[in-house]
Chain A
Amino acid sequence: MIHFEKFQLNNGLTVIVHRDQSTPIVAFNMLYNVGARDEHQDQTGFAHLFEHLMFGGSVNIPNFDEPLQRVGGNNNAFTSNDMTNYYITLPKDNLETAFWLESDRMLSLAFTDKSLEVQRSVVIEEFKQNYLNQPYGDVWLLLRPLAYRQHPYQWATIGKEVSHIANATMDDVKSFFYKFYRPNNAILSVAGDIDVDTIKTLANKWFGDIPAGDVPTRNLPQEAPQTEARRLNVEREVPANAIYKAYKMCKRTDPDYHATDLLSDVLSLGKSSRLHTALVKDRQLFSEIHAYVLGSFDEGLLIISGTLADGISFEEAEAGIVSEIEKFQTQGLKEKELMKVKNKIESTNTFSETSVLNKAMNLAISELMGDAGFVNTEVEKYQAVSEADILRLANSLLRENHCSTLIYAKK
């Protein structure tokens, strides 16, 4: 059980406080409700580029990292299709430094030309390193537009193409900032050996006078239901053939989410899972195979992906996946299989709670989904899933006419 308190400043900033007396470290997590899904289709990769710019100095503090390192702190950030999250860990005594730094960059960035120029090229190198110069690196650049036709999930956080990043101007950057980086579009959570009164004082002192913004109501194009099997074949310089099957699934806050997640776990979590046992070990069609859900806030994807064993054709391999799915749909699952994945959820959750940073992050993300208290009900929701729920979802989701298949062949 993670105990927490929650309050809101007058400018709309939500603050969550969790006390953990066992650690000398404090985690300070600032979550902005903006992700790649909020980008314009001709300016993709912007939320992520912006994450980089947030480290390029703010209106009163020329450098973000240096003063933090000076007090023994560490920080990083990530951008997803749904959110942008910034986090700091530092010795408890020096917590105020995090408030000072994070509030100044919410107030305003420095917006220097140098920072924009450098971060554009850093992000372009990141694009090359992780998406272009990497075997299978472009899978998501191919799979997303295949699975999504209307919704902005059709592009990856890095962006559709390098030119969108290369063309970003200072005006674009500024308008993005004032549109989304406002206190009423953010959630701050702090976890460590701290008390709520101190955090209230610090939050008001440093964030209280930052004006609220006119944050646009999110109104994204919704994806029309998929009714046909979609396929894409590509050839690349890779040593092994691979196959990716993306099935449409519910959104993160849907009551069926937990059962869908467990469905993917039954299929492939661990070496005793169905797909690994049948397709890697017994039939040796794949050298590895995975199934997982993306956990997207809007309608998401359940992915089954595998690298084919040498000498196996795409037809044999895909038929192998489909026959395992059909077997599951007709025969259902054993009680032991469900107990196993539920126990994994419980232990993963317990182990993750050894870190104040994980706790701070999970509180903020849960609040963004609707209620920070979800952190304490997640395990129960997984425990409540029945064999019948999983079977129902296996039958309704895992169908070819809901699936986008990427055939990734070696040259």
Chain B
Amino acid sequence: MNTLNRSLAPKFNQVEHIHFLPVGKKTLDNGILLDSIHGGSQEILKIDFVFRAGNWYNPKSLIASSTSKLIKEGTKSYSAFEIAEGIDQYGAFLDIENGFDTSTVTLYTLTRYLEDVLPYFKEVLLYPAFHEHEFEIFRTNALEKFKINQKKVSFVARNAFSAELFGNNPYGLVASETAYRELQLEDLKSFHKQHYQLGNCKILVSGNVNETTLNLINIHFGKEATGNAPAQPDHQNPDNSPRQVHLEKEGALQSAIRIGKIIPNKLHPDYLGLKVLNTILGGYFGSRLMQNIREDKGYTYGISSGVISMQHAGYFFIGTEVGSEVTQPALTEIYREVDKICQEPVSQDEIDLVKNYMLGEFLGSCDGPFKMASLFESVDAYGLNFEFYNDYINTIKKISPNTIMELGQKYLNKESFLEVVVGKP
């Protein structure tokens, strides 16, 4: 028998080909577009209604997110209990996610119950009642939850970072106790009326989609008035000047660190290269920040960086929680890593690893119709399509160490960051 050489890695291949599921296009009777992605072997469906009703449209803090949370708490024809029970009884799930630009209302259901749950789903989307009683319960409980979160250094740091980074721009309108207390039901009603119009949303159904599915959606939503999409608000650009904000928190065992700045979004040609740079720096377990701050120094349980795209801005961040006593050394090491990526070209070995990792990761994020739907939505909102991901794959395969270093110099000068630290002084 041959002796196995365990030091030698087995042969492997770089991911060559990624298959994108086709997106079906249909127009409902009232002219609303319905996209669909068919795939998977389970008899299940996911329907997303993506409204342009995210934080960008916030007239003031908390309006967009509170509206999205309150739509399921009672409607024209059903009480909050009846809505919850109506959807629960078929084993379906309703999920509402309020983001920077959009609010997405999602229904997950077994295919065979679609017809039964759609009437409830439609009520939630189009006819929420905004009862005073439900509003008060929501406000009280959300405020309680907020107060609990305020005890977490990471939560405080995240909010302070967004508020500082975006200032008066609506992306920077974060929650506060005062904002909860000043919240008015009328504001939510008028936000809903303006932004939750069928004419202001995209519908995408994925999973076990067939003609019946599409017809059922048409029956329930194809007769409704579409309304008009509201005008785009005009907002001032965020302040991208470097500064340091240190918030004290008595008795904290750890300090939360959040460092970052405004950078371009998905629509900019540098965006994809920045994604690669970010992966090397702090975007995966083997990243430089993780290897240095966690695996070498043991300062933290975890550290990561990210490149976030919104429709009207983008930002880069590094986030971690470290032992209070090592806050300064951790900051020094973080800036050292940022500086290094701007000053030294990445080695061939490291870049090869990251390329393969990113392609494998991306292959995983394309697995199945639901993931495909998420990928589609995250480019469709920008007027892009799956071609964006072919560019992504090509960028990963082709990017050179020099390009990465140049991107670092262009965007990530260590003197240019907003730095937020929350913890023991």
Contacts and interface: CB of A to CB of B under 8 A. Distances in A.
A120 B297 CA distance: 11
B84 A271 contact: yes
Interface string A344-362: 1111101101110000000
A69 B300 contact: no
B37 interface: no
Interface centre among B13, B137, B151, B321 (most CB of A within 10 A): B151
A206 B9 CA distance: 12
Nearest to B360: A72
A240 B4 contact: no
Contact of B367 (A23, A118, A281, A347): A23
A315 B113 CA distance: 43
A281 B81 contact: yes
A213 B352 CA distance: 39
Nearest to B252: A133
Nearest to A127: B301
A94 interface: yes
Nearest to B145: A287
B241 interface: no
Interface string B119-157: 000000000000000000100110011011011110000
A376 to B, nearest CB: 15
A65 B285 CA distance: 8
B88 A272 contact: yes
B31 interface: no
B20 to A, nearest CB: 12
Interface stretch (A85-93, A174-182, A219-227): A85-93
A25 B286 CA distance: 20
Q: Most chain-B Cβ atoms within 10 A of its Cβ — which of A99, A117, A240, A269? A: A240
A277 interface: yes
Given A129-B321, A240-B148, A287-B141, A340 B357 contact: no
Contacts, number: 212
Contacts of A90: 360
B301 A104 contact: no
A354 B357 contact: no
Given A270-B88, A287-B141, A135 B152 contact: yes
Nearest to B151: A135
A163 interface: no
A350 B301 contact: no
Nearest to B423: A133
B254 A125 contact: yes
A323 interface: no
A215 interface: no
B364 A25 contact: yes
B196 interface: no
A72 B148 contact: no
B59 interface: no
B89 A336 contact: yes
B10 A125 contact: no
B364 to A, nearest CB: 5
Interface string B178-210: 000000000000000000000000000000000
A346 B144 contact: no
Most central of A107, A128, A209 by chain B CB within 10 Å: A128
Given A94-B13, A121-B298, A344-B88, A69 B285 contact: yes
B298 A120 contact: yes
A239 B7 contact: no
B10 A89 contact: no
A66 B352 CA distance: 11
Interface of B: 4, 6-7, 9-15, 19, 39-44, 72, 80-81, 84-85, 88-93, 108-110, 113, 137, 140-141, 144-145, 147-148, 150-153, 251-254, 284-286, 294-301, 321-323, 352-354, 356-357, 359-361, 363-364, 366-368, 370
16 contacts: A23-B367, A65-B285, A69-B284, A72-B356, A72-B361, A96-B10, A97-B10, A125-B301, A135-B148, A239-B151, A284-B137, A309-B140, A336-B89, A343-B110, A347-B92, A350-B44
Given A90-B360, A281-B81, A309-B140, 13 more contacts: A23-B367, A69-B353, A69-B354, A70-B356, A71-B356, A94-B12, A132-B253, A239-B144, A340-B91, A343-B89, A343-B113, A347-B109, A350-B110
The 9 closest A-B pairs by CB, nearest first: A72-B360, A121-B298, A343-B91, A347-B91, A272-B85, A271-B84, A239-B147, A272-B84, A96-B10
